[in-house]
Structure 1
Amino acid sequence: MNIISRTSLIIYLKHMKHERQIRKFGHIVATNKQKKYVVLYVNEADADDVVNKLMKLKYVRNIDGSPYKYLKKVYEKEKHELS
């Protein structure tokens, strides 16, 4: 069984009525109507192609990638905690 790595994209829209058109690019996980954004999961291998296609759309304002892969995941004890 192969696990496909996925990444999330935060897509800011001009109007939330365009949320339906975004569905064909990936799996929508969350939306926020006040701030007008959609959180979309896509395969990590296809992420660059999806971002290029989305940026060409008139109703997309901005796209942010997930910061998860840049976060520190392994924590070590600090020097003051060892005593």
Structure 2
Amino acid sequence: MDIVERISIIVYLKNMKHERQLRKFGNIYFTHKKEHYVMLYTNEDKIDDTIQHLMKLKYVKDVKVSPFKQVKRDYSSKNVEKKEYLNF
């Protein structure tokens, strides 16, 4: 069994009645009715085709991809001295 990498996409809509039509592009994780956007997860290998197809739809305003893959997640530093906060 292979683990499939998935990426979050935020799709801004003109009207929320088109929310159900986005189900064929991935799993809908969250919808915000007032802000008119839908967060969905799709497979990483199909991300380019999905974004191009979403941008062609007339009810889509904007599409943003989650920057989680580009964010630095290593917070350790090698040159930091350990400080003693408790001096007895």
Q: Which runs of 5+ in 2 are unaligned?
A: 84-88
- TM-score calculated relative to the size of structure 1: 0.92
Q: Which runs of 5+ in 1 are unaligned?
A: none
Residue 5, structure 1, aligned to residue 13, structure 2: no
Q: CA deviation at 1:80?
A: 5.5
C-alpha distance in 1, partners of 2:82/2:28? Answer: 44
Q: CA deviation at 1:82?
A: 2.1
Deviations 1:7-54 (A, max 9, x none): 010000000000011111110000000100000100000010000111
1:71 is matched with: 71
2:86 is matched with: none
Q: Percent identity?
A: 51
- TM-score calculated relative to the size of structure 2: 0.87
1:62 is matched with: 62
* Structure showing the higher helix proportion among its residues: 1
* CA RMSD between the two structures: 1.4
Against the structure 1 CA distance between its residues 81 and 19, is the aligned structure 2 distance closer, same or farther, given a 3 Å change threshold?
farther
C-alpha distance in 1, partners of 2:21/2:81? Answer: 51
Size of the aligned set, in residue pairs, is 83
